Amino acid sequence: MTSASNDILSWGTLQTPSGPAVRFAREAMNTTFEIIVASGDTDYSQKAAHEAFEVLDAIECDLSRFTEDSDITRFNGASAGEAVVLGEAAWDCLVLAACVHAETGGAFDPCVGSAGTMDDIEFDEDAFTVAPTVEGLTVDLGGIGKGYALDRMADMLDEWETDPAMMHGGCSTVQILGVPVGWDGWPITLGAGAGDVFLSDHALSGSAQGTGDGHIIDPRSGNTPIGRHGAWALAPTAAEADALSTAFMVMAVDEVSACCDRCKYGAIIAPDTSDVLRFGVTG
């Protein structure tokens, strides 16, 4: 299998106890998604991967702010007080985004750069509608959508009983389905000298500033954080991990520690002036 390499996450060619893993790829959400299956019939795994990628394609259509009739495009065009009915994917992502927004003290906010924050969205759980409470409010689910898609892909592979398997979106967010016999977990190398982890019962996501102008800003201040090479989050779902890794890039160390203690998340922080810090993560 071709090895994956990235500043955030990487893994070499995977030789499992049952033989080499097989890989299936699909371009979506402006990146490459991969499903890596460690055992089982290759033809059957390919059919299962196809079904999982169909789920991915449908979610991309629902969440993209560049698709004219997507749920998010319709919400972004709504006036203050106008309720918008959402499908399952957009509703789930916005509800989870609101939860992570609260858990991180506003450090994660898909409304950053628009006229408001997650606090300016009104949810109606009975009608599955959301409404902006201010004019000009827009959301971009790029910081949570890949993780959500991986979670739903894992559900599909579970239905097909295709495991053990690992899937990732752009080498930045990883979800797993079972672990090969004889392994403690899937081996994953973190960038920025943060070492290795063996993923068995959590999803993992990493964030880092790009070269030149940073692409991550603190929604609480509007400033680009400095002094941090990267941040990784471990959480029960890939969607949570995806959102949290972005938040952990801008949160103070004591904020990250308190969040992990309170919510039972894991975090690995790579500052540029001190040793790597780990919260709720062993090894």
Kindly write down the DSSP assignment for every residue of 168-229, as one continuous string. EETTTEEEEE---TT-SSEEEEESTT--EEEESSSEEEEE-PPSSS-S---TTT-PPP-SEE
For residue 7, pLDDT beyond 60: no
- What pLDDT is stored for residue 201 in this prediction? 81
Confidence of residue 2 (pLDDT cuts 50, 70, 90): very low
Same domain, 131 and 220: no
Q: What is the pLDDT of residues 20-66, one digit of tens each?
A: 788 899 999 999 999 999 877 888 999 999 999 999 999 999 999 88
Give the CATH number, domain containing residue 160: 3.10.520.10
Rounded Cα distance, 177 and 194, in Å: 24
**Share above pLDDT 70 across residues of the chain, in percent, rounded to a whole number:** 90
112 has a pLDDT exceeding 80: no
Q: How far apart (Å, rounded) are the C-alpha atoms in residues 28 and 53?
A: 9
Domain limit, last residue, from 97, 113, 143: 143
Higher pLDDT, 14 or 193: 193
In a domain, 197, yes or no: yes
* 3 part of a folded domain: no
pLDDT for res 282: 59
Identify whether residues 15 and 108 lie together within a single domain.
no
Length of the chain: 283
Q: Are residues 155 and 251 in the same domain?
A: yes
Mean pLDDT of 207-230: 75
Nearest-CA neighbor of 168 among 154, 155, 179, 181?
154
Amino acid 4: pLDDT:
41
Res. 13 pLDDT band, cuts 50 70 90:
low
Give the pLDDT of residue 280.
86
Helices (H), 16-129: 42-63, 71-76, 88-103
Task: Give me the mean pLDDT over the 225-253 stretch.
Answer: 92
Of the pLDDT bands very low, low, confident and very high (cuts 50, 70, 90), residue 231 is very high
Question: Is 54 domain-assigned?
Answer: yes
Mark whether 129 and 155 lie in a shared domain. no
Other beta carbons within 10 angstroms of residue 216's beta carbon come to 20
Least confident of 24-28, 146-150, 277-281: 277-281
Q: Is residue 38 part of a domain?
A: yes
- Of the three residues 103, 123, 143, the one that is the final residue of a domain is 143
Peptide bond between residue 164 and the one before it cis (omega within 30 degrees of 0) = yes
Q: Are residues 184 and 238 in the same domain?
A: yes
Task: Among 72-76, 177-181, 188-192, 276-280, name the most confident range.
Answer: 72-76
Residue 165 token pair: 């398997």
Label residue 95 by pLDDT band (50, 70, 90): very high
Range of the domain at 23: 9-58+149-279
The model's pLDDT over 196-210, given as tens digits with 9 standing for 90+, comes to 889 988 899 999 876
Sign of the C-alpha dihedral, residues 238, 240, 243, 246? negative
Q: Furthest-apart CA pair in the chain: how many Å? A: 57
Give the end of a domain, one of 128, 143, 158. 143
CA distance 253 to 226: 13
- Which pair of structure tokens corresponds to residue 52? 């999982």
* Kind plus residue range of the DSSP H or E element containing 151: helix 145-159
19 in the same domain as 107? no
Would residue 2 count as lying in a domain? Answer: no
pLDDT score, position 210: 62
Helix, strand and coil content of the chain, in percent to the nearest 5, comes to 30, 25, 45
* Same-domain status, 121 and 245: no
Question: In the predicted model, what is the mean pLDDT of the chain?
Answer: 88
**Does 248 lie in the same domain as 158?**
yes
pLDDT for the residue 14: 67
Has residue 1 been placed in a domain? Answer: no
187 and 137 part of one domain: no
Specify whether 163 is located in the same domain as 239. yes
